[in-house]
Amino acid sequence: MLDRILQTRHAPDAATLIGAGKVAELAGLAAASQASLVLFDRDLTGPQIRNLERELKCKVLDRTQLILDIFARRARTREGQLQVELAQLNYLLPRLTGRGAAMSRLGGGIGTRGPGETKLETDRRRIWTRISKIEGQLRTVRSTRTIQRKKRESVPLATVALAGYTNAGKSSLFNRLTGADVLADARMFATLDPTVRQITLPSRRRALLSDTVGFIRNLPTTLVKAFRATLEEVAEAALLLHVVDAASPHAESHFAHVLEVLAEIGAASTPQLVVLNKSDLLPPLEATAMAEALGRRLAAQRGGGGPALKLHQVTSASARTGEGLERLAALMDGMLGLDPVSEIVLRLPAGEGAALHMIHEHGRPREIRYEGDGVWVRADLPQSIQRRLRQYVKREIPPAMALI
């Protein structure tokens, strides 16, 4: 970045956003620094972009264009590419500008309008056609995700979604918790396409952990609409791991921006576990103070009529060192209401090795006693496993077990 200019105005200028005087100042600065691109940290209209490029004599990008360009470079899957293209087309459609008679297609025949159809109208029709096609393909993606979600619910496996401001360390935390090798990069939006992996919680329950795209302040509406299929994973999750970069000087404002986006996509009521990542870079007292500050911000939003977000816990962790991850896993285990774990006593026939293996694999045995031709087992098991072993459940506990 060669230079930066800030401006305060009572109202934006309709022609250039910043006004003629500021445009002249910016043009001189761009010429002196030989800038090839001027970036505006807010959205511009089509005429504003055209007027600014004419006066500044270089390319002009607004905030949404830059974000869309970054997204286009990061998208790897077909779904991600379709979502980015849809957002780009929705952004471009109201910004198409004609060039007068030079864009007219003179001629007649079937399908023409009057003496000819302008190129602007042709471009609009082509964009609408492409938008309709992409939306149809994304509807198929959404229906596929719905089917997959119903299959997961029948297992059942709870879904935990990672959410947070971009570059908060979500992918690094995801890799630590799942043992995956997802790209973890300091670049903005390095993770665009969602990744889902299975994790085993301390109670031996299994859950699905989903890594999603990072949020930013004033997330463009076109992106929220286009990435609806991806963001549904966040809205439908049983628990959100709201990752905050504890070492960032803007941690509190980033936290507030993410809460706004969560409310916008319909995830305001989803239980959250706030994770202060990179806590190894902060003294313990500062991490504690930050946790209290985030709790106060949520309380203020509730009192001020904001979204009724359910903040159950705030914990500190470090994806880099692994510090605090055991406590994080225990908190996740306790907050997930799907497939709850409870203590149960079973009596298995001596030959039921498969049932005993299932208990070891999916639960936490507390006591095993061999007696005659059977095995008494006292264990903490999820409800789904208890249903599969219901023929072995015993209400009467052996005296030897009752004494423990």
pLDDT of residue 153: 57
> Does the domain made of 341-402 have the CATH classification 3.30.110.30?
no
pLDDT of residue 299: 63
pLDDT of residue 265: 77
**Which of 206, 188, 210 is CA-nearest to residue 197?**
210
Q: Is the pTM of this model over 0.75?
A: no
pLDDT of residue 309: 43
Q: Strands, E, within 66-122: which ranges? A: 104-106, 116-118
Dihedral over alpha carbons 6, 12, 15, 18 (to 10 degrees):
-10
pLDDT of residue 110: 40
Q: Strands, E, within 154-216: which ranges? A: 158-164, 195-200, 206-211
Number of Cβ within 10 Å of residue 209's Cβ equals: 23
Angle between helices 228-235 and 78-92 (to 10 degrees): 110
Number of Cβ within 10 Å of residue 49's Cβ equals: 20
Q: How far apart are CA 347 and CA 349, in angstroms?
A: 7
Asked if residues 47 and 26 have their Cβ atoms less than 8 Å apart, the reply is no
Predicted confidence (pLDDT) per residue in 280-305, tens digit:
888 888 888 888 888 777 666 555 44
Query: Which architecture, in CATH terms, is 157-335?
Result: 3-Layer(aba) Sandwich (3.40)
Asked if residues 173 and 162 have their Cβ atoms less than 8 Å apart, the reply is yes
DSSP bridge pairs for 367: 378
pLDDT of residue 280: 85
Predicted confidence (pLDDT) per residue in 149-194, tens digit:
666 555 567 788 888 888 888 888 888 888 866 555 444 454 555 6
pLDDT of residue 148: 67
In one-letter notation, the amino acid at residue 49 is I
Q: How far apart are CA 346 and CA 391, in angstroms?
A: 9
Number of Cβ within 10 Å of residue 167's Cβ equals: 18
Domain ranges in the chain? 1-61, 157-335, 341-402
Radius of gyration of the chain (CA): 28
Question: Which residues of the chain register pLDDT less than 70?
Answer: 74, 76-77, 97-118, 145-146, 148-156, 180-194, 213, 218-219, 221-230, 232-233, 298-312, 338, 396-404
DSSP bridge pairs for 200: 206
pLDDT of residue 159: 82
